């Protein structure tokens, strides 16, 4: 008897080990990074994507679903205990529950695991049993990718750059005044350091609010649990001819280095280096609406963001990746439900043009890339109105500010994206041809039929590009 029990125990242990091995070997994991500058639409995108992957009636362009190969998709505990979970349920109920509203701004990294049971495709499909594929979605702010550039700079170079960038920006005035009034060679004291850094952070927030993209260091916009720590209490200062030990300049220099090693590097090491598929969400319409300066700034920020995907861009990052790379990158212009569909190709053309410039600088080493216009949550319907004898293709939705329903014509995007990008680059103060308006719409009240996810535009195509080949 005793003998048997022991033998049984051993068999069970062997089985358990076997299962562990099976899981590790045969249940592939796709790590999808979702990024974009603040307010680009990351939270809405992930929420709607997950809802539409679980309820696939609105996903005809996502082939594994259209071919009936996805048997189920379900949420699972994520593999990393130290990363906050993406709060899918709250965001979904905000967007699709009674009194629908947009989810709260979230600017820290978070993660969610969605698992699929899929029938294999191809010739042997009848012979093989269904398998499990895990999709780990990682939401992280695009500003954190911009921080990669900081690794190549010392404090003096960064300061010069940041001060120069602030100069032409209206909202930079107050901060520049305090930076120039400070004595960088003078003795460091914490009160001065705090004032300078909070003025700097306030300027970055205002710049972001006004539609500017490059508002680094990324963690200054939403410091989270690091608020008030020395690694986040510094600001750019003019370089003095001599910065003695104990001076403000020396101390800021030290903190700038701490920001790099304590904030920037851990993000790239713990999150970025593990990503296989990436979507970069871009609020192109928002930038066009904010004007030429904002569009030019977005173009530069995109180039900078994309260089994070270029191998060899940074020696430290290259050594970290050791041969790993992102296989696919999708650039998606978000909130396309602000435009009548006849204008979507033009929006995509602007997105591609922004990306192409970045691509010229950064060779993605074989990663396949695409550009698309999407709306993760469609809030409008289309209609064509007669306006002074001219037909206007409009969208109609509920305005966020007043709660009233209205039809809206945002202006005609040009067929040639250069009509926007060139004046932006040349420093034009305003658009010549058109005024591009933008309205903020509230999510519409919706009743979902069984099997349906929230309404969207081209979310299925985005999913197909990013995941189709792996399911």
By the 8 A CB rule, do 400 and 363 touch?
A: no
Is residue 107 part of the contact set for ligand GTP (CB under 6 A)?
yes
Of 34 and 235, nearer to Mg ion (C-beta) is: 34
For residue 340, state whether it binds Mg ion (rule: CB under 5 A): no
Query: Which stretches does DSSP call E strand in 291-344?
Result: 328-333
Q: Is 145 in the site for ligand GTP (CB under 6 A)?
A: no
- Residue 172 interacts, among ligand GTP, Mg ion, none and using kind-specific CB cut-offs from 5 to 8 Å, with none
Q: Give the integer Cα–Cα distance in Å for 440 and 286.
A: 10
Contacting ligand GTP within 65-104 (CB under 6 A): 102-103
Q: Does 42 bind Mg ion (CB under 5 A)?
A: yes
Pairwise CA distance, residues 211 & 205, whole Å: 10
Q: Which of 55, 178, 233, 379 binds ligand GTP (CB under 6 A)?
A: 379
Task: Give the separation between CA 451 and CA 446, rounded to whole angstroms.
Answer: 14
- Residue 454's binding partner out of ligand GTP, Mg ion, none, with CB under 5 to 8 Å set by partner kind: none
Q: Distance between CA 468 and CA 303 in Å, rounded?
A: 27
Minimum CB–partner distance for residue 106 and Mg ion (Å): 4
Locus of tokens 């209609």: 383
335 near ligand GTP, rule: CB under 6 A = yes
Residue 19, CA distances (Å) to 15, 22, 71, 81, 298 in order = 6, 5, 22, 22, 48
Site for Mg ion, residues 163 to 202, rule: CB under 5 A: none
User: Cα separation of 40 and 220, whole Å?
Assistant: 18
| Interaction of residue 341 with ligand GTP, rule CB under 6 A | no
Q: How many residues bind ligand GTP (CB under 6 A)?
A: 24
* Least distance CB 107 / Mg ion (angstroms): 7
Which single residue is written with the structure tokens 């990682």? 138
User: 20: burial class by Cβ within 10 Å (0-12, 13-18, 19+)?
Assistant: exposed
Quote the least distance from Cβ 208 to ligand GTP, whole Å: 10
Under DSSP, is residue 383 helix (H, G, I), strand (E, B) or coil? strand
What binding mask, one character per residue, do residues 89-128 give for Mg ion by CB under 5 A, x or -? -----------------x----------------------
Q: Is 240 in the site for ligand GTP (CB under 6 A)?
A: no
Residue 427 has what DSSP assignment?
A: T
Residue 125 interacts, among ligand GTP, Mg ion, none and using kind-specific CB cut-offs from 5 to 8 Å, with none
Beta bridge partners, 396, equal 381, 407
Q: Which residues bind ligand GTP (CB under 6 A)?
A: 36, 38-44, 102-103, 105-107, 141, 334-335, 337-338, 375-377, 379, 440-441
Q: Which residues bind Mg ion (CB under 5 A)?
A: 42-43, 106
């Amino acid at each position: 008897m005793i003998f048997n029990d022991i033998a049984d125990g051993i068999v069970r242990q062997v089985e358990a080990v076997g299962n562990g091995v099976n899981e590790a070997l045969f249940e592939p994991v796709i790590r999808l990074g979702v990024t974009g500058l603040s307010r680009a639409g990351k939270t809405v995108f992930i929420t709607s994507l997950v809802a539409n992957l679980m309820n696939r009636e609105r996903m005809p362009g996502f082939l594994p679903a259209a071919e009936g190969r996805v048997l189920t998709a379900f949420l699972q505990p994520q593999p990393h205990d130290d990363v906050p979970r993406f709060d899918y349920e709250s965001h979904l109920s905000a967007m699709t529950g009674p009194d629908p509203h947009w989810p709260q701004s979230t600017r820290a990294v978070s993660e969610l695991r969605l698992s699929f049971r899929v029938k294999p495709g191809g010739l042997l499909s009848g012979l093989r049993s269904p398998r499990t594929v895990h999709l780990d979605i990682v939401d992280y702010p695009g500003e954190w990718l911009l921080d990669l550039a900081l690794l190549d700079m010392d404090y003096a170079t960064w300061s010069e750059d940041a001060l120069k960038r602030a100069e032409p920006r209206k909202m930079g005035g107050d901060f520049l005044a305090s930076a120039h009034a400070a004595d960088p060679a003078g003795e460091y004291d914490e009160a001065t350091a705090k004032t300078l850094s909070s003025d700097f952070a306030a300027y970055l927030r205002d710049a972001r609010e006004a539609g500017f993209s490059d508002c680094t260091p990324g963690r200054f916009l939403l410091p989270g649990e690091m608020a008030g720590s020395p690694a986040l209490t510094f600001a750019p200062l003019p370089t003095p001819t001599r910065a003695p030990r104990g001076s403000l300049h020396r101390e800021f220099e030290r903190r700038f280095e701490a920001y790099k090693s304590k904030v920037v590097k851990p993000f790239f090491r713990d999150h970025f280096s593990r990503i296989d598929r990436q979507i970069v969400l871009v609020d192109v319409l928002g930038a066009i609406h904010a004007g030429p300066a904002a569009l030019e700034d977005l173009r530069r920020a995109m180039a900078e963001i994309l260089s994070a995907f270029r191998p060899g861009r940074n020696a430290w990052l290259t050594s970290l990746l050791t041969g790993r790379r992102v296989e696919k990158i999708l650039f998606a212009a978000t909130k396309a439900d602000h435009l009548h569909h006849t204008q979507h190709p033009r929006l995509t053309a602007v997105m591609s043009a922004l990306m192409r410039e970045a691509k010229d600088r950064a060779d993605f080493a074989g990663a396949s890339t695409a550009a698309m216009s999407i709306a993760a949550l469609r809030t409008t319907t289309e209609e064509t109105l007669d306006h002074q004898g001219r037909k206007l293709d409009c969208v109609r939705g509920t305005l966020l500010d007043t709660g009233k329903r209205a039809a809206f014509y945002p202006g005609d995007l040009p067929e040639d994206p250069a009509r926007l990008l060139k004046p932006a680059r040349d420093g034009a103060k305003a658009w010549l041809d058109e005024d591009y308006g933008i309205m903020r719409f509230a999510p519409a009240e919706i009743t979902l039929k069984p099997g349906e996810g929230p309404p969207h535009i081209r979310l299925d195509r985005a999913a197909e590009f990013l995941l189709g080949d792996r399911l």
